[in-house]
Amino acid sequence: MVEVRRVDSLFDGRHRAGRYRVSPPSDHPASGMTVEVAMGGGAYSTIINPQSFKNGGPEWVMRYGNPESIRYTVASLLETFDYLLSDNINMKEATERLRILRAVRRDLVKGGGDG
């Protein structure tokens, strides 16, 4: 099982797979909706922050709110999903990445992303 841990920044290039960063608080409509996850080897993926659902989350905004306001956030989520399904990585790599993403999501659901 991969060890997951929240960090303040992922952009120094030293983070192992399983380190993640919650989008910082701001006035932007997508603030707190996503989490950037280090996949290892310099690769990163974006997932929905499950804690964002208490305020509606990206799905609610896309259905009932102002989709234009979070279009780049949703594009990043779609890119992660599409890459997992693509032939750019083999099944073993896709499975490992999915395990990492699920472990990070579990940590966030438990409250690991709160501090």
Give me the pLDDT at residue 115, please.
43
Strands (E), the chain: 5-6, 19-22, 34-40, 43-48
β-pairing verdict for 43-48 and 34-40: antiparallel
* pLDDT tens, per residue, the chain with 115 residues: 788 999 988 776 667 899 999 988 888 888 899 999 999 888 999 999 999 998 889 999 999 999 999 999 999 999 999 999 999 999 999 999 999 999 999 999 998 655 4
Lookup: tokens for 51: 């804690």
Give me the pLDDT at residue 2, please.
82
Give me the pLDDT at residue 13, please.
65
Short-list 105, 108, 36, 38, CA closest to 77: 36
Give me the pLDDT at residue 113, please.
54
